[in-house]
Chain A
């Protein structure tokens, strides 16, 4: 394969991506956040549909999910997905949030990208965020008896955590 050719292929700019995706009839919010990538916030209801369209559409073709980050914004909990296209080499960031701290739940994307299986388990382990239809949602790093979710901002462990 000619690598240089792939490198020089015109990458879709953030504006072009935004124009294309906003024509898809989803309720989306485009943000900058000082990031070099296009950031999109999506409602949990239309999240799964948007993700599968981002992968299947030939112009976006985001087939490589490389980073899944659990987030605690203080009031809201959520997940940040970093996606890249191995065909076009553009990158996009998708965010979902919820106010529900007792029972935060989103749809899984492990049926779209197999790597999401492990990454979502990690998010569940440390943030307590559940994923609908996940094939094997249980703790990955911590023991099953562990109480609480350590990466949440309100997690307290007076013995093991050193607060400065």
Chain B
């Protein structure tokens, strides 16, 4: 009797399982439809829209000041940078020059936001691959940044500190001191992160060679941020399309060429060092002056099309505004980094195991409201 199943005439069928929308590793309401053969993944199909609020349609009826508040609810871990993107688009369209003080404060808070986002990512990513302690370490340090934000902006997550023309109000008197304290504190903590997780043999085995993305594919899939830079694709918007006070500072773009999960991990760790260095260069030199310039109460953009890109913690966020000269945009499009980064998940997960999919997804650092705008 022939016992070899592969050579037998037994009928075989694809096996589907759902991952999400309530799976902890999807970090939100993302549903993945997996086609598997035993433990091996044959296809990953994301099913989106569980929290789609149609922010783009809402923007068409809102004023430009109101739109800023909606962007907090996209990538909530980069809320300050999202706000900045809309403000920069409006300011460029109005040809409004904001004071130097505003630019520097925006950049400092933007980099603090990036560190806070990477802290959270580091914590939950460790948890995804079975290292529970990282969660508490990451959140402990992120809490310090949130406290600084709370004092200056009045909010910890959805900040709304930027307005077209500048900042809602000036920084808190404690801001400079507390930021410096944080930088000094965090410099001793990143080596601790490395000691705890980066060098861990089990962790290395989970990450190395998993979810490999080549540079050509990264560009073709429209990847950006640390995902693309882990594949050696130099794409930092802060370098190539500099905005705010980023042209006044020197920093290195974190680049790795391996393209695997570990490379994406190391890029983010490196980015935290670079952000600290940017903050250090600016924090003692915040120029004196006004914290905003006056704009009309009703902002009307000139007729035309405007585009602005910024680098959030996840990659390139683009704001496209088509204006007909009224107080609302005729069409507003957000090019969100998570959406493009998600599209390559199928490509890097096929052929791997389900456990590897979790590791790959953790290093893509998806925030679902950023995808479901």
Q: Distance (Å) between the CB of A151 and the closest chain B CB? A: 6
Size range of the interface on B? 35 or more
A63 is an interface residue with CB less than 8 A from chain B:
yes
Whether A66 contacts B335 in the complex (CB less than 8 A), given A3-B253, A34-B305, A37-B307, comes out as yes
Nearest-CB residue, chain B, relative to A113:
B220
**Is B235's CB under 8 angstroms from A67's CB?**
no
Whether A141 contacts B48 in the complex (CB less than 8 A), given A118-B343, A150-B57, comes out as yes
**Is A115's CB under 8 angstroms from B320's CB?**
no
Q: Distance (Å) between the CB of A95 and the closest chain B CB? A: 10
**Is B331's CB under 8 angstroms from A69's CB?**
yes
Q: Per a CB cutoff under 8 Å, which of B49, B219, B343 touches A142?
A: B49
The digit string for A1-36, where 1 denotes a CB below 8 A from any CB of B, is 101001100000000000000000000000001111
Q: Please name all residues of chain B whose beta carbon is closer than 8 Å to the beta carbon of A118 when the two chains form the complex.
A: 339-340, 342-343
The digit string for A59-90, where 1 denotes a CB below 8 A from any CB of B, is 00001111101011000000010100010010
B56 is an interface residue with CB less than 8 A from chain A:
yes
**Is A82's CB under 8 angstroms from B233's CB?**
no
B318 is an interface residue with CB less than 8 A from chain A:
yes
A163 is an interface residue with CB less than 8 A from chain B:
yes
Whether A66 contacts B316 in the complex (CB less than 8 A), given A7-B239, A71-B331, A141-B372, comes out as yes
**Is A82's CB under 8 angstroms from B342's CB?**
no
**Is B219's CB under 8 angstroms from A67's CB?**
no
Most A CB within 10 A of own CB, among B224, B318, B340, B347:
B340
Nearest-CB residue, chain B, relative to A86:
B219
A-facing residues in B315-373 (Cβ within 8 Å):
316, 318, 320, 322, 331, 333, 335, 339-340, 342-344, 347, 372
A51 is an interface residue with CB less than 8 A from chain B:
no
B302 is an interface residue with CB less than 8 A from chain A:
yes
Q: Please name all residues of chain B whose beta carbon is closer than 8 Å to the beta carbon of A36 when the two chains form the complex.
A: 307
Q: Please name all residues of chain A whose beta carbon is closer than 8 Å to the beta carbon of B318 when the two chains form the complex.
A: 66-67, 82
Nearest-CB residue, chain A, relative to B343:
A118
Q: Per a CB cutoff under 8 Å, which of A35, A115, A143, A163 touches B61?
A: A163
Q: Distance (Å) between the CB of B271 and the closest chain A CB? A: 15
Q: Distance (Å) between the CB of A27 and the closest chain B CB? A: 22
The digit string for B224-266, where 1 denotes a CB below 8 A from any CB of A, is 1000000001110001100000000000110100000000000
**Is A34's CB under 8 angstroms from B303's CB?**
yes
Q: Per a CB cutoff under 8 Å, which of B221, B222, B307, B340 touches A35?
A: B307
Nearest-CB residue, chain A, relative to B223:
A115
A94 is an interface residue with CB less than 8 A from chain B:
no
**Is B343's CB under 8 angstroms from A114's CB?**
yes
A40 is an interface residue with CB less than 8 A from chain B:
no
Q: Distance (Å) between the CB of B278 and the closest chain A CB? A: 16
B-facing residues in A44-59 (Cβ within 8 Å):
none
**Is A3's CB under 8 angstroms from B235's CB?**
no
**Is B49's CB under 8 angstroms from A140's CB?**
yes
B interface residue numbers (CB < 8 A to A) = 48-49, 52, 54, 56-57, 61, 217, 219-222, 224, 233-235, 239-240, 252-253, 255, 302-307, 309, 316, 318, 320, 322, 331, 333, 335, 339-340, 342-344, 347, 372
A interface residue numbers (CB < 8 A to B) = 1, 3, 6-7, 33-37, 39, 63-67, 69, 71-72, 80, 82, 86, 89, 93, 113-115, 117-119, 122, 140-143, 150-151, 161-164
**28 A-B pairs whose Cβ atoms sit less than 8 Å apart in the complex:** A1-B234, A3-B253, A33-B304, A33-B305, A35-B307, A36-B307, A39-B305, A65-B222, A66-B222, A67-B307, A67-B320, A69-B331, A69-B333, A71-B331, A86-B233, A113-B220, A114-B217, A114-B221, A114-B347, A115-B221, A115-B340, A118-B339, A119-B340, A140-B49, A141-B52, A143-B49, A150-B54, A161-B57
Other than A117-B343, A141-B48, give 6 A-B pairs with Cβ distance below 8 A.
A35-B307, A66-B316, A82-B307, A113-B220, A114-B217, A151-B56
